[in-house]
Amino acid sequence: MSYPPIRHEGEKGTTGGVLRTGDRAPDLRMCENGTQVHYLGTGDSTGGAFGLYRWEMGPNPSGPSPHFHRTITESFYVLSGEIRLFNGETWATGRPGDFLFVPEGGIHAFRNESGAPASMLILFTPGAPREAYFEELADIANTGRELTPEEWTDLYLRHDQYMV
């Protein structure tokens, strides 16, 4: 394995690091007393290199059903609590410090079924515009809107989400 192609041609380094403090309010609330999402790095803010979110789940059961993506990898790093992680074959209880990497096409899922809050980092590469997907899901949950099967299919296809 080698380094990727050069992306900065200058002879000198540049400034431009962006600090996001940990006390900043969440960027997205999935539902009242539920999941809160912090967009630490979006595909847009990282020049398409990656997306990194801090995903904070409340005590109520939550998380997606098994699915895969055709265009992105996804990684999960448990920060606090217990999160059920699915690697396409088995479910395991992830605890702080546990890590799951999922390549393109890899079936995966996660759930908080512990009855207590839990949090993790979600990293995806390259930096796809995943914020729009989660914001649409939050709007559906927060408004109680019900989608037809055709509308769910369209939503998933627009966001590289293939349910299993």
Q: Which of 69, 78, 80, 77 is nearest to 157 (CA)?
A: 69
CA–CA distances in Å: residue 97 to residues 20, 75, 140: 22, 13, 32
Number of residues assigned to the chain: 164
Q: Where are the domains of the chain?
A: 28-163
pLDDT at 128 over 70: yes
Q: How confident is the model at residue 30 (pLDDT cuts 50, 70, 90)?
A: confident
pLDDT of residue 34: 86
Residues 121-137 have a mean pLDDT of 96
- Give the Cα-Cα-Cα angle 119, 124, 130 (nearest 5 degrees): 85
pLDDT of residue 33: 65
- Give per-residue pLDDT as tens, 99-114: 999 999 999 999 999 9
To which CATH superfamily is domain 28-163 assigned? Answer: Jelly Rolls (2.60.120.10)
Give dist(CA 156, CA 147) in Å, integer: 12
Its pTM surpasses 0.75: yes
Backbone phi, psi, residue 32, to 5°: -55, 130
Residue 150 DSSP SS3 = helix
CA–CA distances in Å: residue 28 to residues 2, 79, 93, 95: 37, 19, 25, 24
